[in-house]
């Protein structure tokens, strides 16, 4: 993963914040929370552990992919290598292009995670129940 999103350090800070506030809302704790709940669920047995892991992947992979894409996008932006904002070509309006880029960079700091670990767990739990039910019907 590219380093521009600051995800590793950010997630570590979020884990500390979450532990202190006793909530489960960061991306990092969502991973542990959802996986832990899935594996500890009474529906997860040796026969259904692959189903539980598939459910975990289905629930958490989109978020992980989003972080990777955002990291790459921010890297281009912060290295002034983004055609949408500034590609190094002198068009006589460099100041205007830099102001556009500045606003886009500032907006990045306003992004917040969506959903809580509990919300993701509830989605994962319902998927696990549905998947195990399908396995049992076979």
Cβ–Cβ < 8 Å for 67, 27: yes
Question: What angle do helix axes 49-78 and 117-137 make, rounded to 10 degrees?
Answer: 140
- pLDDT digit string (tens) for 73-118? 777 777 766 655 555 666 677 778 778 777 777 776 655 455 677 7
Residues spanned by the domain of 130:
3-137
User: How large is the average pLDDT for residues 7-23?
Assistant: 60
Name the more confident of 15 and 102.
Answer: 102
- Model-level pTM greater than 0.75? no
Domain count, the chain: 1
């Amino acid at each position: 993963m590219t380093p521009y999103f600051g995800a590793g350090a950010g997630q570590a800070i979020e884990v500390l914040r979450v532990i202190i506030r006793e909530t489960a809302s960061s991306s990092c704790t969502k991973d542990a929370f959802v996986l832990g709940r899935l594996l500890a669920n009474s529906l997860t047995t040796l026969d259904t552990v692959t189903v539980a892991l598939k459910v975990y992947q289905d629930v958490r992979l989109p978020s992980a992919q989003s972080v990777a894409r955002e990291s790459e996008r921010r890297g281009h932006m912060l290295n002034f290598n983004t055609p949408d904002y500034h590609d190094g070509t002198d068009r006589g309006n460099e100041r205007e292009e830099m102001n556009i880029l500045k606003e886009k960079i500032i907006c990045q700091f306003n992004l917040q995670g969506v959903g809580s670990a509990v919300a993701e767990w509830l989605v994962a739990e319902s998927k696990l129940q549905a998947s195990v039910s399908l396995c049992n019907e076979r």
